[in-house]
Amino acid sequence: NAGVTQTPKFQVLKTGQSMTLQCAQDMNHEYMSWYRQDPGMGLRLIHYSVGAGITDQGEVPNGYNVSRSTTEDFPLRLLSAAPSQTSVYFCASTPASGSYEQYFGPGTRLTVT
Protein backbone atom coordinates (compact mmCIF):
# COMPACT_ATOMS: atom_id res chain seq x y z
CA ASN A 1 0.00 0.00 0.00
CA ALA A 2 1.19 3.51 -0.80
CA GLY A 3 -0.88 4.90 2.08
CA VAL A 4 -1.81 8.58 1.70
CA THR A 5 -0.18 10.36 -1.21
CA GLN A 6 -0.17 14.07 -1.94
CA THR A 7 0.87 16.02 -5.02
CA PRO A 8 2.62 18.29 -5.62
CA LYS A 9 5.24 18.41 -2.84
CA PHE A 10 5.96 22.08 -3.49
CA GLN A 11 4.04 24.80 -5.31
CA VAL A 12 4.45 28.53 -5.84
CA LEU A 13 1.43 30.56 -6.93
CA LYS A 14 0.79 34.19 -7.66
CA THR A 15 -2.04 35.98 -5.89
CA GLY A 16 -5.32 35.28 -7.63
CA GLN A 17 -4.27 32.05 -9.31
CA SER A 18 -6.23 28.86 -8.71
CA MET A 19 -4.97 25.35 -8.22
CA THR A 20 -5.90 21.94 -6.87
CA LEU A 21 -3.93 19.99 -4.27
CA GLN A 22 -4.34 16.30 -4.85
CA CYS A 23 -4.78 13.67 -2.14
CA ALA A 24 -5.32 9.95 -2.63
CA GLN A 25 -5.39 6.94 -0.33
CA ASP A 26 -5.41 3.24 -1.15
CA MET A 27 -6.54 1.90 2.23
CA ASN A 28 -10.27 2.11 1.51
CA HIS A 29 -10.73 4.55 4.38
CA GLU A 30 -14.11 6.25 4.61
CA TYR A 31 -12.93 9.43 6.29
CA MET A 32 -10.56 12.01 4.84
CA SER A 33 -9.47 15.43 6.05
CA TRP A 34 -7.41 18.44 5.03
CA TYR A 35 -5.32 20.44 7.51
CA ARG A 36 -3.02 23.40 7.20
CA GLN A 37 0.06 23.82 9.37
CA ASP A 38 1.37 27.27 10.16
CA PRO A 39 4.26 28.20 12.47
CA GLY A 40 3.08 28.52 16.06
CA MET A 41 -0.47 27.49 15.13
CA GLY A 42 -0.32 23.73 15.02
CA LEU A 43 -2.61 22.00 12.54
CA ARG A 44 -6.02 23.44 11.77
CA LEU A 45 -8.81 21.54 10.07
CA ILE A 46 -9.95 22.99 6.73
CA HIS A 47 -12.54 20.47 5.42
CA TYR A 48 -13.34 16.86 6.01
CA SER A 49 -15.38 14.08 4.45
CA VAL A 50 -17.08 11.07 6.02
CA GLY A 51 -17.62 9.32 2.71
CA ALA A 52 -18.03 9.74 -1.03
CA GLY A 53 -20.39 12.61 -1.76
CA ILE A 54 -20.31 13.99 1.81
CA THR A 55 -18.12 16.88 2.92
CA ASP A 56 -18.20 19.39 5.76
CA GLN A 57 -16.33 22.46 6.92
CA GLY A 58 -13.67 22.49 9.58
CA GLU A 59 -12.15 25.33 11.54
CA VAL A 60 -10.71 27.39 8.65
CA PRO A 61 -12.70 26.63 5.45
CA ASN A 62 -12.77 30.06 3.81
CA GLY A 63 -11.00 30.22 0.44
CA TYR A 64 -11.02 26.45 -0.06
CA ASN A 65 -13.37 24.02 -1.78
CA VAL A 66 -13.46 20.24 -1.63
CA SER A 67 -15.38 17.42 -3.23
CA ARG A 68 -15.37 13.66 -2.73
CA SER A 69 -16.51 11.81 -5.81
CA THR A 70 -14.66 8.58 -4.94
CA THR A 71 -13.53 6.93 -1.72
CA GLU A 72 -9.88 7.21 -2.82
CA ASP A 73 -9.57 10.89 -3.75
CA PHE A 74 -10.13 14.11 -1.82
CA PRO A 75 -8.80 17.14 -3.73
CA LEU A 76 -8.52 20.59 -2.16
CA ARG A 77 -9.14 23.57 -4.45
CA LEU A 78 -7.90 27.09 -3.95
CA LEU A 79 -10.17 29.29 -6.06
CA SER A 80 -8.18 32.54 -5.85
CA ALA A 81 -4.93 32.17 -3.94
CA ALA A 82 -3.97 34.74 -1.33
CA PRO A 83 -0.66 35.22 0.56
CA SER A 84 -2.50 34.20 3.76
CA GLN A 85 -2.83 30.72 2.25
CA THR A 86 0.93 30.21 2.29
CA SER A 87 1.23 27.12 4.45
CA VAL A 88 1.98 23.42 4.55
CA TYR A 89 -1.09 21.34 3.73
CA PHE A 90 -1.62 17.83 5.06
CA CYS A 91 -4.22 15.33 3.96
CA ALA A 92 -5.25 12.50 6.29
CA SER A 93 -7.44 9.44 6.09
CA THR A 94 -9.12 7.36 8.80
CA PRO A 95 -10.96 4.05 8.78
CA ALA A 96 -14.61 4.03 9.84
CA SER A 97 -14.02 1.36 12.45
CA GLY A 98 -11.31 -0.01 14.65
CA SER A 99 -8.65 2.32 16.00
CA TYR A 100 -9.79 5.44 14.12
CA GLU A 101 -6.11 6.29 13.70
CA GLN A 102 -5.47 9.13 11.26
CA TYR A 103 -2.87 8.43 8.58
CA PHE A 104 -1.18 11.55 7.23
CA GLY A 105 0.28 12.25 3.83
CA PRO A 106 3.75 13.83 3.46
CA GLY A 107 2.38 17.33 2.91
CA THR A 108 2.37 20.02 0.22
CA ARG A 109 4.31 23.22 0.84
CA LEU A 110 2.47 26.09 -0.84
CA THR A 111 3.82 29.62 -1.25
CA VAL A 112 1.59 32.42 -2.56
CA THR A 113 3.39 35.57 -3.66
Partner 1 sequence: GNSVTQMEGPVTLSEEAFLTINCTYTATGYPSLFWYVQYPGEGLQLLLKATKADDKGSNKGFEATYRKETTSFHLEKGSVQVSDSAVYFCALRIGQAGTALIFGKGTTLSVSS
* Residues between 3 and 32 with contacts to partner 1, criterion CB under 8 A: 4, 30-31
CB of 21 to partner 1, least distance (A): 14
Of 17 and 109, nearer to partner 1 (C-beta) is 109
* Positive or negative torsion for Cα 73, 53, 71, 108: positive
Q: Tell me, by CB under 8 A, how many residues bind partner 1.
A: 27
My answer on whether omega of the bond before 95 falls inside 30° of 0, hence cis, is no
Which residues of this chain interact with partner 1, rule CB under 8 A?
Answer: 4, 30-31, 33, 35, 40-45, 48, 50, 58-59, 90, 92, 94, 96, 99-102, 104-107
